[in-house]
Amino acid sequence: MEVQIQYRFTIIDEDTGSSFSDALYFPLSEWPVSEATLKNMEQERFDNWKQAITTSADPPPVEEQVAAIDDQIESLQQQKESLLAQLEVS
C-alpha cells in the first residue's frame, strides 16, 4: 500500500457564505506540491462544486419522455403476450 499525503482545505463562498470542504491526496513521491499548485487545485474543485450546485440539469423534452414510455409499454406488452402463451402451452 502506497503512503499518501492528505491535504484538507475549506473555501467560503463569498456570494452565499456557504463553505466547501474537500481533500486532495498525493503520493509521497509527488510531495511537496507548490503552494500555487495547491491553490489552483483548490479553486478548480471549488468552481466545479459551485457549478454543480447552481446549474440545474434540463430534463429531456416531454416528447422524448413520452416516446421512451411508449417503447417500454410495447416491450412489456410483448413480454406479457409471451408469458401468456407459455401459460397456455403448460
Segment 35-61, tens digit of pLDDT: 999 999 999 999 999 998 888 777 778
- Coil vs helix vs strand at 8: strand
For residue 69, give its domain range: 60-90
User: Residues 6 or more apart from 50 whose CB is under 8 A from it?
Assistant: 13, 20
User: Bigger pLDDT: 6 or 54?
Assistant: 6
| Residues 40 and 72 placed together within one structural domain of the fold | no
Residue % of the chain over a pLDDT of 70: 99
pLDDT of the residue at 70:
93
Q: Are 20 and 13 in contact (CB under 8 A)?
A: yes
| Domain co-membership, 9 together with 47 | yes
For 62-74, write each residue's pLDDT tens digit. Answer: 888 899 999 999 9
Q: Which residues pair with 12 in a beta bridge?
A: 19
Distance (Å, whole) CA 52 – CA 50:
5
Reply yes or no on whether the pLDDT at 90 is more than 70: no
Give me the chain's average pLDDT, please.
91
Q: How many domains does the chain have?
A: 2
Same domain membership, residue 75 and residue 34: no
Residue length, the chain? Answer: 90
User: Do 50 and 65 belong to one domain?
Assistant: no
Q: Are residues 13 and 48 in the same domain?
A: yes
